Amino acid sequence: MFAALRTVFEKTLTAFVIFLLASLTVIIVMGVTYRKMGWSLVWYDEVASIMLAWLTYYGASLAALKRAHIGFPGLVNAMPPQLRITAVLFAEACVIGFFAILAWFGWEVLQILQGDTLVTLPNVTTAFTQSVIPIGGVLFIMAQLFSLPEVLAQARGGGIVDHEQKQLEEALR
């Protein structure tokens, strides 16, 4: 059941990140094309910058699920297995704690922004655009928790997989 939930989470997050990337691409191409033809879209800059922020938060959550963020597997792998598990749990607690604080204060910001709207699109609330902060924080926590059993198994076994080293070795082959 846990593996099925993780798969659904990963596929949903991947689809949303692809959707955001494709949408941002279309908006940027459209904005540049219109500008070249002498017709500026007033909402283009504001929407593109918001979509980039959304892509960053949701993409970071997807990267966390795949454990593709910068890490120190060599440092952890140099430790004896019992210390590896402690180090992994400590690191996880720090990351989850940080993103819990981010989500909490992101929610607080949404309460402050109620009623504000975008300058160029007055029908779109600022709270909607900034909702990515608490949602991204929660998604990052979920990604960490979904990938934690795999990392703990690696820590107990031969060591944490160094994805960068693995990619480098594959590229050199």
User: According to the model, what pLDDT value does residue 145 have?
Assistant: 96
User: According to the model, what pLDDT value does residue 31 have?
Assistant: 94
Measured distance CA(19)–CA(14) in Å, rounded: 9
* 42-101 per-position pLDDT tens digit: 999 999 999 999 999 999 999 999 988 877 787 888 888 889 999 999 999 999 999 999
* pTM of the model as a whole: 0.87
User: According to the model, what pLDDT value does residue 24 have?
Assistant: 97
Contacts of 125 (CB under 8 A, 6+ apart): 113, 114, 115, 116, 117, 118
